[in-house]
């Protein structure tokens, strides 16, 4: 029976790390094949599982054996395979599914970009434009529409899963309006409006993004009469007045773009407005391995960065905001609660 290994000696641990691509590829293969979806609550023989996902049994056993070493699936003594808490997260129907995140982090462009990390570290610039001759999101939308769709699904999943945590954390009982800036499909503002039935909200993001806003916010939706959907780029202007502005996971661009977005929020809200910035951090968090990996991926694709607590504080105070509180939202997000000074 193959089981997850713990605490190997340093030489073996380093050997395992340099084969990290094999683990990522195995997770991607399992997600694309739908192995977790085909495996039910009852352990299955590999031959039956192979028939269900239309693969050859022997290579499927090899794939599953590799993943059981990391605690993804488990193999019983009789040779059958069963779910673990991690493998269930690869299922489409799991309420906490990470299938789309798994696919996004292993899309074809990532395999082109990772080998050039040393170049990105030397120059401090992204490598995607050199690879494809285009800015990253232009490349996705024009040349890799399937990857763009995976990105959209992954961001939707991530936003939906964290929106409830954000709503639970924030006390907006003294406010009458909230604006979700760069809010994607609006899961955060929707969760806040559900929490506060008398509140009005605004969602601002790029036109192609808000076209697919959460159905609760669109015409005919349960929250449509209390929300405004505004297409726009927060780095250019924010034509939205609100008591509270929420900015989640978008201040990862170059410093100039971040500064422009913060200045625009402050100008829109005016003195006394509350600004809540929510970000992954690469320090003081239990999700360091995930956050630092995403930080390097941002360097590769857009030349951006995740923040440390100090770097986020620096950007917010440089913009002129007063930081009132810093709190964890969940194991991988922190909230910086700020005020526009009088």
Q: What is the CATH number of the domain that holds 97?
A: 1.10.10.10
Same domain for 192 and 44 = no
Is the same domain home to 216 and 286? yes
Identify how many contiguous H helices and E strands the chain contains and give both numbers: 17, 9
Is residue 223 a part of any domain in this protein? yes
Tell me how far CA of residue 237 lies from CA of 230, 253, 264, 311, in angstroms.
11, 16, 6, 24
pLDDT tens digits for 12-26?
A: 999 999 999 999 999
> Does 71 share its domain with 174?
no
Same domain, 169 and 261: yes
Answer whether residue 10 is part of any domain. Answer: no
Whether residue 285 sits in one domain with residue 195: yes
Do 51 and 161 belong together in one domain?
no
Interval 118-161: pLDDT, tens: 999 999 999 999 999 999 989 998 999 999 999 988 988 888 88
- Mark whether 210 and 333 lie in a shared domain: yes
Instruction: Please indicate, yes or no, whether residues 189 and 335 belong to a single structural domain of this protein.
Output: yes
- Using the predicted structure, report yes or no on whether residue 308 has a pLDDT greater than 60: yes
Would you say residue 1 has pLDDT above 70? no
* Number of domains comprising the chain: 2
309 and 199 together in one domain? yes
Stretch 283-289: mean pLDDT: 79
pTM for this entry: 0.87
Beta partners for 328? Answer: 334
Amino acid 3: pLDDT: 55
CATH number at residue 277: 3.40.50.150
Report the alpha-carbon distance of residue 44 to residue 40 in Å, rounded: 8
Residues 156 and 258 both lie in one domain: yes
pLDDT of residue 161: 87
- Report the SS3 class of residue 233: coil
Q: Which domain holds residue 45?
A: 18-103
Question: What is the rounded CA–CA span in Å between residue 338 and residue 244?
Answer: 10
* 124 falls within a domain: no
**Residue 3 within a domain:** no
Give the helix/strand (H/E) hosting 246. strand 244-248
Q: Structure tokens of 296?
A: 């390097």
Domain boundary among 69, 103, 137: 103
Q: Is residue 263 part of a domain?
A: yes
> Is 192 contained in some domain?
yes
């Amino acid at each position: 029976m193959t089981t997850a290994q713990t605490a190997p000696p340093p030489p073996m641990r380093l050997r395992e790390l340099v084969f990290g691509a094999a683990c990522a590829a195995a997770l991607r293969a399992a997600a694309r094949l739908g192995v977790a979806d085909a495996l039910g609550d009852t352990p299955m023989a590999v031959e039956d599982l192979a028939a269900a996902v239309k693969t050859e049994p022997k290579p499927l056993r090899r794939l599953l054996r590799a993943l059981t070493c990391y605690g993804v699936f488990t193999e019983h003594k009789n040779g059958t395979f069963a779910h673990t808490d991690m493998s269930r997260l690869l299922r489409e129907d799991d309420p906490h599914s990470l299938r789309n995140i798994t696919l996004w982090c292993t899309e074809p462009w990532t395999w082109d970009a990772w080998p050039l990390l040393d170049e990105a570290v030397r120059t401090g610039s992204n490598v995607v434009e050199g690879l494809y001759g285009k800015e990253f999101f232009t490349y996705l939308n024009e040349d890799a529409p399937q990857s763009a769709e995976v990105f959209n699904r992954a961001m939707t999943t991530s936003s939906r899963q964290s929106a409830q945590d954000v709503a639970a954390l924030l006390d907006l009982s003294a406010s009458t309006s909230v604006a979700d800036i760069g809010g994607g499909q609006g899961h955060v503002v929707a969760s806040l409006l559900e929490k506060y039935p008398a509140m009005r909200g605004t969602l601002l993001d790029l036109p192609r993004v808000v076209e697919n806003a959460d159905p609760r916010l669109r015409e005919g939706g349960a929250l449509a009469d209390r929300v405004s959907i505004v297409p726009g780029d927060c780095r250019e202007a924010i034509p939205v007045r609100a008591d509270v502005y929420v900015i989640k996971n978008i201040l990862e661009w170059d410093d100039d773009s971040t500064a422009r977005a913060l200045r625009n929020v402050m100008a829109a809200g005016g003195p006394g407005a509350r600004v809540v910035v929510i970000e992954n951090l690469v320090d003081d968090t239990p999700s360091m391995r995930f956050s630092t990996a995403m930080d390097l991926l941002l360097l590769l694709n857009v030349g951006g960065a995740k923040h440390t607590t100090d770097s986020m504080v620096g950007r917010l105070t440089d913009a002129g905001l007063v930081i009132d509180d810093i709190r964890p939202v969940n194991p991988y997000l922190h909230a910086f609660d700020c005020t526009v000074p009088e």
